[in-house]
Amino acid sequence: MGSLPMCNCRAGQQPDQWTEVRVDDLETKRLETARKLFELADLNGDGLLSVDEFSEMGLNQTKVHAEKQLTPGDEQLIKDEFVQKYQRELDSSLRPVTCDEYQEYILRFANRIDPGDFKAQSMMLEGFLVEATIARCIAVEEASALPTILTSELGREWGKTQWPQEPLDNADCGGVTPSQT
């Protein structure tokens, strides 16, 4: 192979142009990852992220890192913290936000951690994506357990209830991302 390049895709470009291409690629990756994070957090699939969905996903991501099972009181405190964060950083009136608004928030958050370092931010967002996928699976598992709990705990009358198909069934728990469904 010697000194021959594997391809000539950069032929005629100066090295400073190579960096620009990589930054554009990283920015595209950051935006795509932020969109995937939004899709995972949009538990009901309505195209908006509500404060309830945000706090539920925050709680579930906290559960991923918890060293012990959380008490109901602990869970409520965590949800309250995420409600406050939503109010502070997403919408002060607690109205649902769009994907664009969420992307702006998550990219602003990433930039506060690693200012201007798109590569580090992309890696961080990929880590958030893994956590959000697990948190979404927890939400799906807990939502699907509700009818079972109700039918077993409340008797036969509840067993006759037809449960609607939940949008949560689109979760990324089986290797399929929400955008593929």
Where does the pLDDT of residue 168 fall: very low under 50, low under 70, confident under 90, or very high at 90 and above? very low
**Which residue, 148, 153, 178, is CA-closest to 163?**
148
Query: Can you give the pLDDT at residue 9?
Result: 47
CA distance 160 to 157: 6
pTM for the complete prediction? 0.67
- 73: domain CATH number is 1.10.238
Give a yes or no: residue 77 inside a domain: yes
Q: Counting beta carbons within 10 angstroms of the beta carbon of residue 69, is it exposed (0 to 12), middle (13 to 18) or buried (19 or more)?
A: exposed
Query: Can you give the pLDDT at residue 85?
Result: 96
Give a yes or no: residue 170 inside a domain: no
Q: What dihedral angle (degrees, nearest 10) is formed by the CA atoms of 74, 76, 81, 86?
A: 150
Give a yes or no: residue 10 inside a domain: no
Give a yes or no: residue 111 inside a domain: yes
Give a yes or no: residue 100 inside a domain: yes
Give a yes or no: residue 71 inside a domain: yes
Range of 70's domain?
A: 22-163
pLDDT digits (tens, 9 = 90+) for 96-129: 999 999 999 999 999 999 998 888 999 999 999 9
Q: Which has more pLDDT, 150 or 65?
A: 65
Give a yes or no: residue 121 inside a domain: yes
Give a yes or no: residue 9 inside a domain: no
For 7, the 3-state DSSP assignment is coil
82-86, 135-139, 148-152: lowest mean pLDDT where? 148-152
Task: Check: CB of residue 30 under 8 Å from CB of residue 121.
Answer: yes
State how many domains the chain has.
1
**Which residue, 99, 58, 50, 98, is CA-closest to 82?**
58
